Amino acid sequence: MNQRLSAVCLLSLLSACQPEHPVDIANATPATRAAATTPPPPPPPVSDAQASRIALQAQFVDEALGVAILPWPGFTLRRDFRRSYLATGDWKAFAQADSRGKAVAALVLDGSNEVTAAELRVGVSDDADSVARCLEVSDSALPTPRDEVRIDGQPFRHFRASDAAMSHYLTVDAYRAVRQQRCYAIDLLVVGTRPEVYDPPRTPPFEGAVAQARLREALAAIRFVK
Protein backbone atom coordinates (compact mmCIF):
# COMPACT_ATOMS: atom_id res chain seq x y z
CA MET A 1 0.00 0.00 0.00
CA ASN A 2 1.60 3.36 -0.98
CA GLN A 3 2.16 6.17 1.50
CA ARG A 4 -0.48 8.52 0.12
CA LEU A 5 -3.20 5.86 0.21
CA SER A 6 -2.24 4.98 3.79
CA ALA A 7 -2.52 8.63 4.85
CA VAL A 8 -5.94 9.10 3.35
CA CYS A 9 -7.13 5.77 4.74
CA LEU A 10 -5.84 6.63 8.24
CA LEU A 11 -7.36 10.04 8.63
CA SER A 12 -10.57 9.95 6.60
CA LEU A 13 -13.44 10.78 8.92
CA LEU A 14 -15.69 8.28 7.29
CA SER A 15 -13.27 5.41 6.75
CA ALA A 16 -12.78 2.46 9.08
CA CYS A 17 -9.92 0.75 7.23
CA GLN A 18 -6.67 0.13 9.05
CA PRO A 19 -3.50 0.34 6.93
CA GLU A 20 -0.56 -1.86 7.78
CA HIS A 21 1.93 1.06 7.80
CA PRO A 22 0.38 4.26 9.26
CA VAL A 23 1.86 7.55 8.10
CA ASP A 24 4.36 9.29 10.44
CA ILE A 25 2.97 12.81 10.10
CA ALA A 26 5.94 14.42 11.88
CA ASN A 27 8.45 13.02 9.40
CA ALA A 28 6.27 12.92 6.28
CA THR A 29 7.02 14.95 3.18
CA PRO A 30 5.03 18.18 2.74
CA ALA A 31 2.92 16.61 0.00
CA THR A 32 2.09 13.55 2.11
CA ARG A 33 1.41 15.70 5.19
CA ALA A 34 -1.02 17.86 3.20
CA ALA A 35 -2.82 14.78 1.86
CA ALA A 36 -3.10 13.30 5.35
CA THR A 37 -4.42 16.41 7.07
CA THR A 38 -6.76 17.77 4.39
CA PRO A 39 -10.28 16.27 4.42
CA PRO A 40 -11.66 15.13 1.08
CA PRO A 41 -13.80 17.72 -0.72
CA PRO A 42 -17.56 17.43 -0.24
CA PRO A 43 -19.57 15.97 -3.12
CA PRO A 44 -20.95 18.57 -5.54
CA PRO A 45 -24.39 19.94 -4.64
CA VAL A 46 -27.44 18.55 -6.37
CA SER A 47 -28.68 20.90 -9.07
CA ASP A 48 -32.25 22.17 -9.08
CA ALA A 49 -32.92 20.22 -12.27
CA GLN A 50 -31.63 16.99 -10.72
CA ALA A 51 -33.69 17.57 -7.59
CA SER A 52 -36.81 18.17 -9.67
CA ARG A 53 -36.34 14.94 -11.63
CA ILE A 54 -35.84 12.95 -8.44
CA ALA A 55 -38.91 14.52 -6.84
CA LEU A 56 -41.07 13.54 -9.82
CA GLN A 57 -39.90 9.91 -9.60
CA ALA A 58 -39.88 9.53 -5.82
CA GLN A 59 -42.61 8.06 -3.66
CA PHE A 60 -41.26 10.03 -0.69
CA VAL A 61 -39.51 13.42 -0.57
CA ASP A 62 -38.52 15.53 2.42
CA GLU A 63 -37.05 18.65 0.86
CA ALA A 64 -36.11 20.18 4.22
CA LEU A 65 -33.94 17.17 5.05
CA GLY A 66 -32.83 16.67 1.46
CA VAL A 67 -33.88 13.03 1.28
CA ALA A 68 -36.00 11.19 -1.29
CA ILE A 69 -36.93 7.52 -1.66
CA LEU A 70 -37.73 6.04 -5.05
CA PRO A 71 -40.26 3.23 -5.45
CA TRP A 72 -38.59 -0.13 -5.04
CA PRO A 73 -40.13 -3.47 -6.09
CA GLY A 74 -41.06 -5.80 -3.25
CA PHE A 75 -41.11 -3.07 -0.60
CA THR A 76 -43.81 -0.91 0.98
CA LEU A 77 -43.10 2.64 2.13
CA ARG A 78 -43.96 3.55 5.71
CA ARG A 79 -43.53 6.97 7.30
CA ASP A 80 -42.83 5.74 10.83
CA PHE A 81 -40.87 3.05 12.65
CA ARG A 82 -43.75 1.81 14.79
CA ARG A 83 -44.16 -1.87 14.03
CA SER A 84 -45.05 -4.38 16.73
CA TYR A 85 -42.52 -6.94 15.51
CA LEU A 86 -39.54 -4.62 15.98
CA ALA A 87 -37.95 -4.04 19.35
CA THR A 88 -37.43 -0.30 19.04
CA GLY A 89 -38.86 2.71 17.26
CA ASP A 90 -35.79 4.89 17.86
CA TRP A 91 -34.66 7.18 15.05
CA LYS A 92 -31.59 4.96 14.54
CA ALA A 93 -30.56 1.48 15.59
CA PHE A 94 -28.77 1.23 18.95
CA ALA A 95 -29.44 4.90 19.73
CA GLN A 96 -28.12 6.15 23.05
CA ALA A 97 -30.72 6.85 25.72
CA ASP A 98 -30.29 10.64 25.38
CA SER A 99 -30.07 10.62 21.57
CA ARG A 100 -32.65 12.68 19.73
CA GLY A 101 -33.63 12.44 16.08
CA LYS A 102 -36.47 11.97 13.61
CA ALA A 103 -37.75 8.76 12.05
CA VAL A 104 -38.04 9.87 8.42
CA ALA A 105 -39.31 6.82 6.50
CA ALA A 106 -38.91 3.08 6.08
CA LEU A 107 -39.06 0.57 3.25
CA VAL A 108 -40.63 -2.63 4.61
CA LEU A 109 -39.92 -5.86 2.78
CA ASP A 110 -43.18 -7.42 1.64
CA GLY A 111 -44.21 -10.40 3.73
CA SER A 112 -42.61 -9.11 6.93
CA ASN A 113 -44.32 -10.42 10.04
CA GLU A 114 -43.64 -11.27 13.68
CA VAL A 115 -41.60 -14.35 12.70
CA THR A 116 -39.17 -12.54 10.40
CA ALA A 117 -39.24 -8.92 9.27
CA ALA A 118 -36.90 -6.68 7.30
CA GLU A 119 -36.79 -2.92 6.92
CA LEU A 120 -34.62 -0.20 5.43
CA ARG A 121 -34.93 2.79 7.75
CA VAL A 122 -33.86 6.41 7.27
CA GLY A 123 -33.45 8.61 10.34
CA VAL A 124 -32.04 12.12 10.70
CA SER A 125 -30.94 14.25 13.65
CA ASP A 126 -29.86 17.88 13.90
CA ASP A 127 -29.29 17.62 17.65
CA ALA A 128 -25.76 18.92 18.27
CA ASP A 129 -24.72 16.03 20.52
CA SER A 130 -26.19 13.41 18.17
CA VAL A 131 -24.35 15.00 15.23
CA ALA A 132 -21.08 15.05 17.17
CA ARG A 133 -21.48 11.33 17.98
CA CYS A 134 -22.93 10.40 14.59
CA LEU A 135 -19.99 8.33 13.34
CA GLU A 136 -19.46 6.40 16.57
CA VAL A 137 -19.71 2.64 16.22
CA SER A 138 -22.24 0.93 18.46
CA ASP A 139 -21.06 -1.27 21.32
CA SER A 140 -23.06 -4.04 19.64
CA ALA A 141 -21.04 -3.77 16.44
CA LEU A 142 -19.33 -6.85 15.08
CA PRO A 143 -15.56 -6.69 14.43
CA THR A 144 -16.07 -6.60 10.66
CA PRO A 145 -16.95 -5.13 8.30
CA ARG A 146 -16.28 -1.51 9.23
CA ASP A 147 -15.77 0.39 6.04
CA GLU A 148 -16.92 3.26 3.86
CA VAL A 149 -19.89 2.79 1.56
CA ARG A 150 -21.29 5.33 -0.87
CA ILE A 151 -25.04 5.76 -1.04
CA ASP A 152 -26.15 7.93 -3.96
CA GLY A 153 -22.56 9.13 -4.16
CA GLN A 154 -22.39 10.19 -0.51
CA PRO A 155 -19.79 8.57 1.80
CA PHE A 156 -21.24 6.70 4.78
CA ARG A 157 -19.47 4.85 7.58
CA HIS A 158 -20.74 1.28 7.63
CA PHE A 159 -20.70 -1.28 10.40
CA ARG A 160 -22.65 -4.43 11.16
CA ALA A 161 -24.21 -5.15 14.53
CA SER A 162 -26.41 -7.75 16.16
CA ASP A 163 -28.38 -8.43 19.32
CA ALA A 164 -30.24 -11.41 20.71
CA ALA A 165 -32.34 -12.20 23.75
CA MET A 166 -34.26 -15.36 24.57
CA SER A 167 -35.74 -16.49 21.26
CA HIS A 168 -35.45 -13.12 19.52
CA TYR A 169 -32.67 -11.77 17.31
CA LEU A 170 -31.77 -8.58 15.47
CA THR A 171 -29.11 -7.94 12.82
CA VAL A 172 -28.33 -4.50 11.47
CA ASP A 173 -26.24 -3.07 8.66
CA ALA A 174 -25.77 0.52 9.86
CA TYR A 175 -24.70 3.46 7.69
CA ARG A 176 -23.85 6.87 9.21
CA ALA A 177 -22.91 10.22 7.66
CA VAL A 178 -22.83 13.90 8.57
CA ARG A 179 -24.29 16.13 5.86
CA GLN A 180 -25.64 19.66 6.05
CA GLN A 181 -24.82 19.71 9.78
CA ARG A 182 -27.12 16.73 10.35
CA CYS A 183 -26.58 13.09 11.21
CA TYR A 184 -28.07 10.74 8.64
CA ALA A 185 -28.66 7.16 9.79
CA ILE A 186 -29.66 4.42 7.36
CA ASP A 187 -30.27 1.03 8.94
CA LEU A 188 -30.99 -2.32 7.29
CA LEU A 189 -32.73 -4.39 9.95
CA VAL A 190 -33.62 -8.07 9.95
CA VAL A 191 -35.46 -9.08 13.11
CA GLY A 192 -37.30 -12.19 14.12
CA THR A 193 -38.16 -14.99 16.45
CA ARG A 194 -37.01 -18.57 16.15
CA PRO A 195 -39.92 -20.33 14.40
CA GLU A 196 -39.72 -23.41 16.61
CA VAL A 197 -40.91 -21.48 19.66
CA TYR A 198 -44.40 -21.32 18.14
CA ASP A 199 -46.86 -24.16 18.58
CA PRO A 200 -47.13 -25.38 15.93
CA PRO A 201 -43.79 -24.09 14.51
CA ARG A 202 -44.14 -21.19 12.07
CA THR A 203 -42.58 -20.83 8.64
CA PRO A 204 -40.59 -17.60 8.13
CA PRO A 205 -41.72 -15.48 5.16
CA PHE A 206 -38.12 -15.36 3.93
CA GLU A 207 -34.62 -16.37 4.98
CA GLY A 208 -32.52 -13.83 6.84
CA ALA A 209 -29.70 -13.90 4.29
CA VAL A 210 -32.18 -13.31 1.47
CA ALA A 211 -33.69 -10.36 3.35
CA GLN A 212 -30.26 -8.82 3.92
CA ALA A 213 -29.45 -9.07 0.23
CA ARG A 214 -32.78 -7.47 -0.73
CA LEU A 215 -32.21 -4.63 1.73
CA ARG A 216 -28.75 -3.90 0.36
CA GLU A 217 -30.20 -3.74 -3.14
CA ALA A 218 -32.86 -1.29 -1.89
CA LEU A 219 -30.15 1.20 -0.85
CA ALA A 220 -30.29 2.28 -4.48
CA ALA A 221 -33.73 3.76 -3.75
CA ILE A 222 -32.19 6.46 -1.52
CA ARG A 223 -31.57 9.85 -3.12
CA PHE A 224 -30.18 13.08 -1.70
CA VAL A 225 -31.78 16.16 -3.19
CA LYS A 226 -29.58 18.87 -1.75
Residues 22-66 have pLDDT tens digits of 334 344 444 444 444 444 445 555 555 455 555 556 789 999 999
Residue 105, strand partner residues: 122
Is the pLDDT at 81 greater than 80? The verdict is yes
Domains in the chain, start-ordered, CATH in brackets?
Answer: 3-37 (no CATH), 48-224 (3.40.1000)
**What pLDDT is attached to residue 87?**
57
Distances (CA, A) of 24 to 1, 32, 113: 15, 10, 53
Q: Measured on CA atoms in the order 117, 186, 225, 181, is the torsion positive or negative?
A: positive
Report the mean per-residue pLDDT for the chain: 79
CA distance 67 to 85: 26
Predicted pLDDT at 24? 41
Q: By the 8 A CB rule, do 105 and 79 touch?
A: yes
**How far, in Å, are 18, 67, 98, 108 from residue 82 at the CA level?**
38, 20, 19, 12
Q: What confidence tier does 114 reach under pLDDT thresholds 50, 70, 90? A: confident
